[in-house]
Amino acid sequence: MARGVHDLGGAPTQAPIDRSEHQLADWELLMDALVGTLGRRGLMNVDELRRGIESMPRAEYERASYYERWLYSVESILAEKGVVAAGELDARLGT
């Protein structure tokens, strides 16, 4: 049975698990606040956030950090819902 990229319970690994605490960067705090605001405004809920994360291509999912996954999901879900236009964020960033 195909499992989602996130569905890792029981999967064997030799990779070490980093259990150290770390300071959150400013953008990570903003990411958390943004998702909270989107929820309160009714633009995006936590299940959509999770779907966006769990729909990431496997290689990107495995490479991304926790809040990078949130960022990926918010961008893709808001574009899917038409809250932002495709390419709008890139255009504003001048990339």
Partner 1 sequence: MYRIGQRVRVSARPHEGHHRTPGYVKGKIGRVERMHASFTNPETRAYGTDGLPKQPLYLVAFSQRDLWPGYRGRAGDQVYVDVFEHWLEVAE
Where on the chain is the footprint of partner 1 (CB under 8 A)?
1-4, 7, 9-10, 45, 47-48, 50-51, 54, 81
Closest to partner 1 by CB, 40 or 92: 40
Q: Which residue number, 31 or 73, has a Cβ lying nearer to partner 1?
A: 73
Q: How far is the CB of 61 from partner 1 (least distance, A)?
A: 15
HSE-CB for 81 with a 13 A CA cutoff: 15
Residues 6+ apart with CB under 8 A from 58: 5
Considering the complex, what minimum distance in angstroms separates the CB of residue 47 from partner 1? Answer: 4
Closer residue to partner 1 (CB): 10 or 16: 10
Burial class (CB in 10 A: 0-12, 13-18, 19+), 5: middle
Q: Shortest distance, CB of residue 73 to partner 1, whole angstroms? A: 11
At 14 the three-state DSSP class reads coil
